[in-house]
Amino acid sequence: MSQRVIVITGAASGIGHATAELFRDLGDTVFGLDIAPTVPEGVTYLECNVGDRASVEAAIKTAGEAHGRIDVLANVAGVVQFGRFDQITDAEWDRVHTVDLKGPFMTMQAALPYLRACGGNIVNVSSVAGRVPQAYTTAYSAAKGGLTQLTRSLALELSPENIRVNAVCPGTVDTPIVSQVAEMFPPDLDPRVADRLMMMLPGKAISPRELGSSIVYLASAEARMITGCVLAHDGGMS
């Protein structure tokens, strides 16, 4: 049997980049979807805006039709949001939900025929913010909470078709986005929530490669009995 076909969104940096490297090093055929072309060497870059259905469908079709199947879809692309609830604009709310929730919804819909062709599986990157309450992250928390429940619900729906759906829920991952987190906090941060938010700073972070290793495991044959799992990487926050 030929090597697996892997599709990873957000493959140009951070978790997606590290995950693409790990699958590549296993000898898999890896397609890296992103708006930027800086995917790892040996990974096939496909330009894709995960918030645009036409862009998503075109990229997924190219990857799926190249080999007639998609063995693994890893939804890694995401954006973060911090700020007071009463100051969130419609545009900010829509941007976060489009990338963090609607994006995975669209990629999974587009990839489903190719996943069905081989009994493939999906791994979504959610967040601890979708599992436990966090002040000043309402748009982001709502989107990631939605993604967590979408993962669980779809796992039940697709289980009879031998398609597994799981998620990883990191607290802090040492990525360029996280390095800017402190700058997003309100200047008069409530001390009652400061400690929890400080858990998201780089000094408390895990590496993208650590999280990528969990994605690789959940997508592996060794995890064949795992579906609907939400694997926390949060130092016990949840």
134 in any annotated domain: yes
Mean pLDDT score across all residues of the chain: 89
Classify residue 88 by burial, with Cβ atoms within 10 Å: 0-12, 13-18, 19+.
Answer: middle
* Termini Cα distance of the chain: 40
Range of the domain at 25: 5-233
Active site residue 140: yes
159 in any annotated domain: yes
Q: What is the mean pLDDT of residues 47-51?
A: 98
- pLDDT score at 182: 52
Determine which one of 45, 136, 141, 144 is catalytic: 144
- pLDDT score at 201: 47
Q: Are 148 and 105 in contact (CB under 8 A)?
A: no
Q: 81 falls in which pLDDT band (50, 70, 90)? A: confident
Is a pLDDT exceeding 80 seen at residue 232?
A: yes
Active site residue 144: yes
Structure-block tokens of residue 196:
């929890």
99 in any annotated domain: yes
Q: 233 falls in which pLDDT band (50, 70, 90)? A: confident
Q: To the nearest whole percent, how much of the chain has pLDDT over 70?
A: 85
- Hey, which residues does 187 pair with through a beta bridge? none
- Of residues 133, 142, 135, the one with CA closest to residue 190: 135
CB within 8 Å of 118: residues ≥ 6 apart: 69, 70, 71
9 in any annotated domain: yes
Identity of the residue numbered 21: E
Q: 192 falls in which pLDDT band (50, 70, 90)? A: low
Question: Which position has the higher pLDDT, 50 or 200?
Answer: 50
Active site residue 126: yes
Instruction: Identify the weakest region by mean pLDDT among 16-20, 42-46, 70-74, 196-200.
Output: 196-200
Q: What is the mean pLDDT of residues 39-63?
A: 98
- pLDDT score at 193: 55
Helices 103-116 and 138-158, axial angle in degrees (round to 10) = 20
Q: Are 31 and 43 in contact (CB under 8 A)?
A: yes
203 in any annotated domain: yes
Number of domains in the chain: 1
Domain containing residue 155: CATH number: 3.40.50.720
Q: What is the mean pLDDT of residues 157-166?
A: 98
238 in any annotated domain: no
198 in any annotated domain: yes
28 in any annotated domain: yes
Rounded distance between C-alpha atoms, residue 129 and residue 119, angstroms: 30
Determine which one of 45, 102, 140, 214 is catalytic: 140
Q: What element of type H or E holds 89?
A: none
Rounded distance between C-alpha atoms, residue 21 and residue 204, angstroms: 24
Q: Are 130 and 137 in contact (CB under 8 A)?
A: no
- pLDDT score at 82: 82
Rounded distance between C-alpha atoms, residue 113 and residue 166, angstroms: 18
- pLDDT score at 135: 79
Instruction: Identify the weakest region by mean pLDDT among 100-114, 152-166, 191-205, 219-233.
Output: 191-205
- Of residues 136, 120, 234, 116, the one with CA closest to residue 186: 136
Question: Which position has the higher pLDDT, 2 or 101?
Answer: 101
Rounded distance between C-alpha atoms, residue 189 and residue 166, angstroms: 34
Classify residue 217 by burial, with Cβ atoms within 10 Å: 0-12, 13-18, 19+.
Answer: middle
Residue tagged 């999974």 (tokens): 108
Structure-block tokens of residue 49:
């805006």
Determine which one of 13, 45, 114, 126 is catalytic: 126
- Of residues 72, 65, 71, 95, the one with CA closest to residue 9: 72
